[in-house]
Amino acid sequence: AQSVTQLDSQVPVFEEAPVELRCNYSSSVSVYLFWYVQYPNQGLQLLLKYLSGSTLVKGINGFEAEFNKSQTSFHLRKPSVHISDTAEYFCAVSEGGSSNTGKLIFGQGTTLQVKP
């Protein structure tokens, strides 16, 4: 079974500063990894995904993440945040390969609060 741990429940940061949201996962099989964003009163939007290949993946809105297999981590980064990045961010995992049903296992979420 897979599990996901987001190491920070809240991350306050000033506008234009860099940010890193940390995510660790546990799985005995190959996985796909995702970051989703949830703006207030909205559904989930996919920011980026890692399926295979290059360990550095780029997503929408200037976000990127790096897959580290040895450390079982998938941290999300942005070099310069904007007020509009204030939202809840979820790291998620699903099984890869032929046994993939597509179901997502989510972390507890990290609230990114960007201050002016």
Partner 1 sequence: DSGVTQTPKHLITATGQRVTLRCSPRSGDLSVYWYQQSLDQGLQFLIQYYNGEERAKGNILERFSAQQFPDLHSELNLSSLELGDSALYFCASSAIYRYSYNEQFFGPGTRLTVL
Q: Is 62 helix (H, G, I), strand (E, B) or coil?
A: helix
Does residue 98 bind partner 1 (CB under 8 A)? yes
Q: How many residues touch partner 1 (CB under 8 A)?
A: 22
Based on CB atoms, which residue is closest to partner 1, 53 or 116? 53
Binding track, positions 50-89, relative to partner 1; x by CB under 8 A: -x--------------------------------------
Residue 103 CB, shortest distance to partner 1, in Å, is: 5
Restricting to residues 7-36, name those near partner 1 by CB under 8 A: 32
Q: Which is nearer to partner 1, 30 or 71 (CB)?
A: 30
Which of 13, 6, 8 shows the shortest CA–CA distance to 80?
Answer: 13
State the nearest-atom distance from the C-beta of 74 to partner 1, in Å: 15
Report the 3 state secondary structure along 26-92: ECCCCEEEEEEEECCCCCEEEEEEECCCCCEEECHHHCEEEEECCCCEEEEEECCCCHHHCEEEEEE
15: Cα within 13 Å, side-chain hemisphere = 5
Binding stretches for partner 1 (CB under 8 A): 32, 42-46, 49, 51, 90, 96, 98-109
